Amino acid sequence: MTTVITYAIYIVDDDQDLRELLQIALENRYQVRAFPAARPAIEAVEKDPPDLVILDIGLPDMSGIDALRTMRERHPDLMVIMVTAFTDVNIAISAMKLGASDYILKPINTEALEVSIQNVLERIRLRKEVQLLQEKYLKENIPCFIGESNAIQDVMQFVDKVAKAADTPVLIVGETGTGKELIASAIHYKSPNFNGPFVTLNCSAIPKDLIESELFGYEKGAFTGAHASGKKGLVEVAANGTLFLDEVGDLSLEAQAKLLRFLEDGEFYRVGGTRKFQIRTRVVSATNKDLDAMIEKDLFRRDLYYRLAVIKVEVPSLNERRDDILPIARHFLAEFSKKHGKVFDRIESTAEAHLKSYQWKGNIRELRNLVERGVLIGTGPTLTLPDVGAGRRLEGVLPAPAVDSGGMAILPDEGIDLEALEDHYIREAFKRAGGNETKAAKLLGLSYYAFRYRRKKLKDLKS
């Protein structure tokens, strides 16, 4: 099925006859709006950016050059064709330097304008097709982005923004199993580097004495056991793409120093080599550790932290986005039904209730494993309560006022205000810990990041 792409064009010209002529000529193929002056057009661009603006240079309220500058500052991807009655070369040069896509003289030759519009829209079409492919990839391959909760929507919107930079470092923090590597891949595939490689290194899995050669490579004969022809490091392999450093908090201080040197100037030497290499690649890192606490204990370099965390993405735990549990579970149900040749098309209501109430210490990874297990042991077509291991004891995040003989929380007849109860214990733990988030998190059996997420919602509770 082919996706039809529609285009919006704004015409900005104080000549009413020309404005109406262009509008009539274009509106049967495009969504067209016309403006007699710059300021109302700028306001419209701010509220609803078009694909293309046809902008006159001689406007009554502001010069077209100033209008172009304002529009492009706020929307760098906006395409603009400048129109003018003047043949001043300097004006044309100024317009092109500010990002104008083309420059057309009055009186307008409609055929020349149509060629210019088609050239610009072809670039926009390619860009939109790439965006559609990226969105399709994310939806089909990255389950941590499934869902409509505010928590994940905030992350998705933030990822959209930060991905646009080609080489700005990003640090992803969150509990184990929240999908940090998947989010790193989303940043890659939504970035200008998406055609380049996405290379992953688990820093905790490499011995300390090999991490430098793994990252930066080595020349032949650099050390005993080195490959005869030398070897490229992962920094080189990831050139013009993304290097993802998982578990970056496990790097030794020596390895941290070498990584910092590369991040500061993009230059490095292979182990045993004298030739300087310069590579452009984006470094995205992730950890489930409290790097602030590690810095205080001199286990992690503060200067490296600042370089890695130019942009910081905090991933909410699955327990903080319970409305997304069932959509993610259904995604895995379809995935593993296909993988294992089973027919599962729904989840039993009691099993759904169990999944929504369970405390997910392993987050999305744990949910994924549980659904795969259920598909393997179940007969289908419905995933049932026994399939999802309902015999396991549910562990409450917050203490309850009473429990039954099986240790399960009892809901009072009058009900409870769960949100108020949670707020109370967050405040109480924060107070007892003297404002130390790490200690407060331990009091509640939460990870540092889960506690921090909850505390941030209490705007009056400051460190």
- pLDDT tens-place string over residues 240-273: 899 999 999 988 888 898 889 889 888 887 877 7
Q: Taking residues 329-348, report their average pLDDT.
A: 91
Residue with tokens 């300087």: 276
Say what the pLDDT of residue 391 is.
Answer: 43
pLDDT at residue 398 is higher than 60: no
Q: Which of 138-152, 194-208, 337-351 has the lowest mean pLDDT?
A: 138-152
| Domains in the chain with CATH codes | 8-132 (3.40.50.2300), 148-316 (3.40.50.300), 324-388 (1.10.8.60), 399-463 (1.10.10)
Say what the pLDDT of residue 245 is.
Answer: 94
CA torsion sign for 14, 15, 20, 21 is: negative
- Residue 276 or residue 141, greater confidence: 276
pLDDT at residue 125 is higher than 60: yes
Q: Rounded to whole angstroms, what are the CA distances from 369 to 336, 358, 383?
A: 10, 14, 14
* pTM for the full predicted model: 0.59
| CA atoms of 346 and 334, how far apart (whole Å) | 9
pLDDT at residue 10 is higher than 90: yes
Say what the pLDDT of residue 1 is.
Answer: 42
Q: What percentage of residues in the chain have a pLDDT greater than 90? A: 24
Which of 159, 94, 165, 200 has the alpha carbon at shortest distance from 312? 159
Q: How many CA atoms lie within 13 A of 22 on its CB side?
A: 31
The pLDDT tens digits for 423-444 are 777 888 888 887 888 888 888 8
Q: Taking residues 292-305, report their average pLDDT.
A: 93
Chain mean pLDDT for the chain: 83
Q: For residue 181, how many other CB atoms are within 10 A of its CB?
A: 18
Contacts of residue 374, Cβ cutoff 8 Å, sequence gap at least 6? 383, 387, 388, 389
Say what the pLDDT of residue 394 is.
Answer: 37
